[in-house]
Amino acid sequence: MRMKDDHMRNGQLKPCYNWQFSTNNQFVVNYTVEQATTDTTTLPTHLAEHEKLYGEYPDVATADSGYGSEENYVFLEKNEIEPFVKFNYFHKEQTRKFKANAFHQDNLYYNPNQDCFYCPMGQRMAKTATYSRKTSTGFKQYITQYQAQNCNGCPLRGACHKAKGNRIIEVNHNLERHKQKARSKLLSEEGVKRRGQRCADVEATFGIIKNNKGFRRFMLRGKRKVEIETGLIALAHNLSKISA
């Protein structure tokens, strides 16, 4: 996999794997091994393995922002899995600085009846185009463009945008719908509890395996062999939890 840039800034390719663990009270209940540098594309495969093992999908999924993509939200909704899954900027949204930024796209007022936005000066931003694009996994997204009609002479232009013409924003309404649903759940009393439990559950499990047990390198090569080795590590971890 191409790893994150280190101090050499040369984007190294290294033989490595991305572990995906599902845990319950620090017991490993499901694991998959991926060859993807990010977690975003691994969730459907991981949950499909859960369904294969237990005959059904979990009722609830709690995950960090690495899994908060439109494709994953759609997958969770389709399979009736209640999502407590953060998205990028979830924590940043809660800051006073973010909420006070009236120029940020997420803080612009949207009128669903007229399908338009309004800039901080109250100027209408009408829909100008809609297009689709595909992600690396082939998932199709639909993007809508909105454009202000006249930014010339606006006293707030310098703080609003740096483009030469009128301001244009692009919005994925389906993603925004899922983000609003996730936001509501994550900020609820249950959501706060589940977010705290996730850190103490799955993160602690990785810490026990990597630091307490000292497992930091695979001894085998090839994805199938690494999956077997991962299974043995998960089994050893679960047995140690039972005997503790």
Q: What is the pLDDT of residues 204-227, one digit of tens each?
A: 999 999 999 999 889 988 899 999
pLDDT surpasses 80 at 99: yes
The encoded tokens of residue 33 equal 């091994």
Question: Which pLDDT score, from 0 to 100, does residue 198 have?
Answer: 93
The CATH label, of 1.10.3470, 3.30.300, 3.30.420, 1.10.1740, for the domain at 18-91+181-243 is: 3.30.420
Question: Which pLDDT score, from 0 to 100, does residue 5 have?
Answer: 65
Question: Which pLDDT score, from 0 to 100, does residue 7 have?
Answer: 67
**Mean pLDDT in residue range 40-57:** 95
0.85 exceeded by the pTM?
yes
What is the band of 2 on the pLDDT scale with cuts at 50, 70, 90? confident
pLDDT surpasses 70 at 6: no
**Mean pLDDT in residue range 55-75:** 95
For CATH 3.30.420, the residue range(s) in the chain are 18-91+181-243
pLDDT surpasses 70 at 42: yes
Between 163 and 170, the more confident residue is: 170
Q: Which of 12-26, 127-141, 186-200 has the lowest mean pLDDT?
A: 12-26
Placement of tokens 């899922």 in the chain: 178
pLDDT surpasses 80 at 106: yes
Do 35 and 223 contact (CB within 8 A), yes or no? yes
Handedness of CA 189, 195, 198, 203 (dihedral sign): negative
Residue 66 dihedral angles phi and psi, to the nearest 5°: -65, -15
pLDDT surpasses 70 at 51: yes
pLDDT surpasses 90 at 163: no
Percent of the chain with pLDDT over 90: 81
What is the band of 123 on the pLDDT scale with cuts at 50, 70, 90? very high
Residue 31 CA to residue 235 CA, distance in Å, equals: 11
pLDDT surpasses 80 at 9: no
Question: Which pLDDT score, from 0 to 100, does residue 147 have?
Answer: 96
**Mean pLDDT in residue range 142-157:** 93
**Mean pLDDT in residue range 55-78:** 95
